[in-house]
């Protein structure tokens, strides 16, 4: 059984470990990307298409691992935020049935709350050790690294300190969180068509760029002084398509889930599709 001091130390150590992990992953992925690109320059500099595709692979090797870790943590935080209202509601129901607060929490120790389950077991253990529920919730909110959960827990603590019964406070907070989750889901459903429009607009833009490069530009006659510019046009088009794909993807994520980080997967998909299309067609 850990003391409160040991628990705080463990929490700090775990948070520091997460930061170290993403730094190590970023360093390793960057090193791997540089190795791939150096081999690409050495062996495929004369083949434009192969060189461009391997360069894309090198960029993905650098970016995907750390961004995947960040998105994974975002998904975990989102899962915790979605399960937390049900946890509070279950505590309230147990208290209303005649249980004390520690008993109400321990009764939920083996309930299924997804990723929140392991935190529920920690909360139950700390509560059974006699640690005040306010401190236990605050410790959980800090471990979750969720701004929304920290705000919710502070509201619970302040409402409890002002003299409200814990069951009433938890019930009111749970109801509010349920309403917020409902609003989020309604917003996601309402912007689904806008998300599809975002994809369609990007693919139309991609089609325009491909059409210009394949059919329009070859009809122009460039003087000797502009040959270098004409040869650089494919690189310019590739850059434009990638930039457009990244920002379109981030915008789609912001609209659909309310956070820029949620758009990483959309940005990666659009940028890779656009870059690959330009490289293979030109």
Tens digits of residue pLDDT in 248-276: 888 888 777 767 777 888 888 888 888 88
pTM: 0.62
Q: Mean pLDDT over residues 177-198, rounded?
A: 76
Q: What b/e sequence results for 227-249 when a residue is b if at least 16 CB atoms lie within 10 Å of its CB, and e otherwise?
A: eeeeeeebeebbeebbebbbebb
Q: Mean pLDDT over residues 275-279, rounded?
A: 80
pLDDT for the residue 228 = 56
pLDDT at 16 over 70: no
When the pLDDT of each residue in the chain is averaged and rounded to a whole number, the result is 76
Tens digits of residue pLDDT in 86-111: 888 888 888 888 887 778 888 888 88
pLDDT for the residue 100 = 76
DSSP string, the chain: ---HHHHHHHHHHHHHHHHHHHHHHHHHHHHHHHHHHHHHHHHHTT-HHHHHHHHHHHHHHHHHHHHHHHHHHHHHHHHHHHHHHHHHHHHHHHHHTT--HHHHHHTTTTS--GGGHHHHHHHHHHHHTT--HHHHHHHHHHHHT-HHHHHHHHHHHHHHHTT--HHHHHHHHHHHHHHHHHHHHHHHHHTHHHHHHHHHHHHHHHHHHHHIIIIIGGGS---GGGHHHHHHHHHHHHHHHHHHHHHHHHHHHHHHHS-GGGGHHHHHHHHHHHHHHHHHH-
User: What percentage of the chain reaches a pLDDT higher than 70?
Assistant: 82
pLDDT for the residue 28 = 85
pLDDT for the residue 210 = 80
pLDDT for the residue 6 = 44
Q: Are 91 and 104 in contact (CB under 8 A)?
A: yes
Q: Mean pLDDT over residues 48-76, rounded?
A: 79
Confidence band, pLDDT 50/70/90 cuts, at residue 20: low
pLDDT at 1 over 50: no
Q: Mean pLDDT over residues 170-188, rounded?
A: 77
User: What percentage of the chain reaches a pLDDT higher than 90?
Assistant: 0
Q: Are 86 and 113 in contact (CB under 8 A)?
A: yes
Tens digits of residue pLDDT in 198-242: 888 888 888 888 887 777 766 665 555 555 556 666 677 777 888
pLDDT at 64 over 60: yes
11/138 Cα distance (integer angstroms): 12
pLDDT for the residue 12 = 45
CA dihedral angle for residue 73, residue 62, residue 14, residue 254, rounded to 10 degrees:
-20
Count CB-CB contacts under 10 A for residue 183.
10
């Amino acid at each position: 059984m850990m003391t409160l001091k040991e628990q705080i130390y463990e929490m700090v150590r775990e948070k520091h470990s997460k930061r170290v992990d993403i730094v190590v992953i970023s360093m390793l992925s960057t090193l791997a990307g540089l190795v791939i690109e150096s081999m690409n320059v050495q062996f495929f500099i004369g083949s434009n298409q192969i060189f461009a595709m391997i360069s894309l692979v090198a960029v993905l090797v650098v970016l995907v691992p750390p961004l995947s870790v960040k998105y994974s943590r975002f998904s975990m935080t989102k899962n915790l935020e979605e399960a937390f209202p049900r946890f509070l509601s279950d505590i309230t129901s147990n208290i209303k049935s005649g249980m004390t607060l520690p008993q109400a929490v321990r009764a939920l120790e083996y309930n299924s709350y997804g990723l929140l389950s392991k935190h529920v077991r920690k909360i139950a253990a700390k509560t059974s050790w006699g640690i005040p529920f306010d401190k236990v919730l605050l410790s959980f909110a800090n471990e979750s690294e969720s701004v929304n959960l920290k705000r919710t827990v502070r509201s619970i603590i302040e409402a409890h300190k002002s003299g409200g019964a814990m069951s009433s406070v938890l019930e009111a907070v749970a109801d509010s969180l349920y309403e917020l989750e409902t609003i989020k889901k309604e917003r996601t459903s309402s912007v689904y068509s806008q998300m599809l429009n975002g994809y369609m607009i990007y693919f139309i833009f991609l089609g325009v760029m491909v059409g210009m490069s394949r059919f329009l530009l070859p009809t122009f006659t460039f003087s000797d002084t502009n040959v270098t510019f004409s040869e650089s046009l494919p690189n310019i088009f590739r850059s434009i398509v990638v930039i457009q794909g990244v920002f379109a993807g981030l915008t789609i994520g912001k609209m659909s889930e309310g956070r820029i980080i949620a758009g990483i997967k959309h940005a990666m998909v659009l940028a890779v599709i656009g870059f690959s299309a330009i490289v293979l067609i030109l």
